[in-house]
Amino acid sequence: MQADSISEQRLLEKIQKLPPEQVLLVEDLIDSLVQQNTDHSLTFGAAKISETVLLKIWDNPDDAEYDKL
């Protein structure tokens, strides 16, 4: 946990040295990264929820020929 605190402090110090317009860019970047993580989590969650339903559709003898492709 101490390493995280040190990294956080270093980032804060660097951000404090930036001019206001660049701080806004950093904030936008962070927001974008958070959104990407959220989008990824939602996509992964939806895929996980659909897995059992789709398995019934995909894993059947009628479609076994497609497994060989």
The answer to which of 9-13, 25-29, 61-65 has the lowest mean pLDDT is 61-65
Q: 């076994």: which residue's tokens?
A: 64
CA gap 20, 15 in Å, rounded: 9
The whole model's pTM is what? 0.57
d(CA 18, CA 59): 56
pLDDT for residue 64:
73
Give buried/exposed letters for 44-62 (b at 16+ CB in 10 A, else e): eeeeeeeeeeeeeeeeeee
Could you report the per-residue pLDDT of 27-58, keeping only the tens digit for each? Answer: 999 999 999 989 899 999 998 888 888 887 77
Please state the separation of Cα 54 from the chain's center in Å.
Answer: 23
